[in-house]
A and B are shown apart, each in its own frame.
Chain A
Amino acid sequence: MSQEKIIEVKNLSKKFGSFTAVDNISFDVYKGEIFGFLGANGAGKTTAMKMLIGISRPTSGEVTVAGYDVKTAAEMVKKSIGYMSQRFSMYDDLTIKENITFFGGIYGLSRNKIKEKTAQLVSELGLEDAVDKLVGDLPLGWKQKLSFSVALLHEPKIVFLDEPTGGVDPITRRQFWEMIYAEAHKGTTIFVTTHYMDEAEYCDRVSIMVEGHIEALDTPKNLKQQFNVESMNDVFLKLARNVE
């Protein structure tokens, strides 16, 4: 992990009428870091993430992602990042190959590049015999792995993963994290949200949002020390309990 900042957030806020969803948060994420973005339901995670990926305008504050200001260069931000969520991953009624071609096209890759990427991705995932199968017919675990690879098609500097492993069986969940490790190793920054607290332990650093604020931000090891508990689950319970 380097000391080069790839995401810089300063005094970021978002208000909806009189309700402040994100309240003056500041943090940096470094190149090649696996950054865990945690919080209770309704703590403001999704709202904050939407501002980082350039699809929601901040009420106030500064955000730079991969060197671009989200307020003035949102389109450049979108080109520099990959995004994967549990809810929307790929088109079920297109084949694996068609999905890759479609997303490659969206990201502006050339025809040759798409061909090359398809071959590479399919062989890495061991899906050679399945390229013409509909994505809808794949087991959930395969869909998640494929959709992670598709989010990386255009070789983004940062990939945002929104609860990528929900409902997946425990073995696939671990294989998925091994893919994340490998990608971070190549220098890609990983920004991930999850409700599995064991996954929080796999992150280089973790931030915990409570009611629009960032209540804690450090390595899992330091957080456990700071709160004098055994696991990230206990850190989370200590911080987020009794607020709603």
Chain B
Amino acid sequence: MSIQVQNISKSYKDNFAIAAVSFDVKEGEIFGLIGPDGAGKTTLFRILTTLLLANEGTATVAGFDVVADYKSIRRSIGYMPGKFSLYQDLTVAENLSFFATIFGTTLEENYDVIKEIYVQIEPFKDRRAGALSGGMKQKLALCCALIHKPKVLFLDEPTTGVDPVSRKEFWDMLKRLQQRGITILVSTPYMDEAALCDRIALIQKGAVLKIDTPENIISKYDKTIYDVRTKNTHQLIQDLKEYPSQYSVYAFGEYIHYCDKTDDFNSIELENYLKQRNHTEIEIRVSKTSIEDIFMDLTTLNQ
């Protein structure tokens, strides 16, 4: 196991940030913590990177205990915090050489690890980090986290606020780092990124709702979700919510995702109901369940 978390809890005054969280991350795995702001993702990262002490529970990273062996952990991991953490008034090259020096290495020694990412920012190596675009900052931060060839990489919301193109590129980079044997723990509020991880933990308000591979979470889900569309989306949401046997109604791109309480749901009946309410161009079909559907269901059940 590359990371073992057992019953970790942390509270600030009376508020639980995380409550009795447990999970394991295997060596070479991309493990995703999926959840919105306030789920406790950052607190967990700070405990595992030895920057914060838990109130209860134990955890190991790369075989070292987060309390007793914190110095060994710091040498074995790379950490990219959620907020841009580099020195804004140092250049790209200076930031890299700063982080290399701190870890007692040089850019040349581990160049092969960062090469592929670094060549993309190399043309700007004399530019101050503060003057880089968002995507470039992200690449520099990743280089700095990798410069000492860590065994485990911690990425706290690396793609938040990043556009879909840069997000896709970033995940391609992570896949290639994984091929080098680096274990990656990554958090994200974007549910569509869950499918890119080997295994995920869905978390909300400090508690783990589910841990499994994204495929298993979807295939084991026992409810059927329907795509519903009519000409007037806004009115459709209102009317579906008033349908007597509705279980949940959520906008999902161009369709509304509808789930029914009963086992013998009949789409013709729903279609007639919508016709009575003056809907036109009605379309109802079985939907492809996504992690986001399941997350919303689990958080509702959890409340």
Contacts and interface: CB of A to CB of B under 8 A. Distances in A.
Contacts of B134: 41-42
B150 interface: no
B296 A170 contact: yes
A141 to B, nearest CB: 8
B254 A201 contact: yes
A167 B163 contact: no
Contacts of B189: 166-169
Contact of A168 (B37, B204, B233): B37
10 contacts: A42-B134, A139-B38, A167-B160, A170-B296, A171-B296, A171-B299, A174-B251, A196-B190, A198-B253, A244-B135
A185 B164 contact: no
Given A140-B37, A185-B234, A170 B191 contact: yes
A42 B135 contact: yes
Contacts of B204: 169
Contacts of A181: 233-234, 237
A41 B133 contact: yes
A241 B172 CA distance: 14
Contact of B166 (A40, A140, A169, A178): A40
Contacts of A170: 36, 191, 250, 292, 295-296
Given A170-B295, A198-B252, A236 B164 contact: yes
A182 B234 CA distance: 8
A13 to B, nearest CB: 20
Interface in B109-147: 133-135
Given A41-B166, A167-B189, A174-B250, A195 B161 contact: yes
B52 interface: no
What class of interface size applies to chain A in its complex with B? Answer: 35 or more
A237 interface: yes
B197 to A, nearest CB: 17
A62 B204 CA distance: 47
A201 B253 CA distance: 5
Contacts of B35: 169
Contacts of B165: 40, 236-237, 240-241
B171 to A, nearest CB: 13
A36 interface: no
A195 B250 contact: no
A107 interface: no
Interface of B: 35-38, 133-135, 160-166, 168, 189-192, 204, 233-234, 237, 250-254, 292, 295-296, 299-300
Interface string A160-180: 000100111111101001100
Contacts of B164: 195, 197, 233, 236-237, 240
A39 interface: yes
The 7 A-B pairs of least Cβ separation, nearest first, read A169-B36, A167-B37, A201-B253, A41-B134, A40-B163, A181-B234, A198-B253
A195 B163 contact: yes
B237 A178 contact: yes
Contacts of B133: 41-42, 244
A68 interface: no
Contacts of A198: 251-253
A165 to B, nearest CB: 10
Interface string A206-244: 000000000000001100000000011100110011001
Given A168-B189, A198-B251, A231-B253, 18 more contacts: A40-B163, A40-B166, A41-B135, A42-B135, A140-B38, A166-B161, A167-B36, A168-B36, A169-B35, A171-B299, A174-B250, A195-B163, A196-B190, A202-B233, A236-B164, A237-B164, A237-B165, A244-B133
A169 B251 contact: no
A101 B265 CA distance: 49
- Residue among B35, B251, B296 having the largest count of chain A Cβ atoms under 10 Å: B251
A196 B163 CA distance: 8
A169 B41 CA distance: 13
A206 to B, nearest CB: 12
A163 B165 CA distance: 17
A41 B192 CA distance: 19
B222 to A, nearest CB: 20
B176 to A, nearest CB: 18
Nearest to B237: A178
A220 B300 contact: no
B209 to A, nearest CB: 12
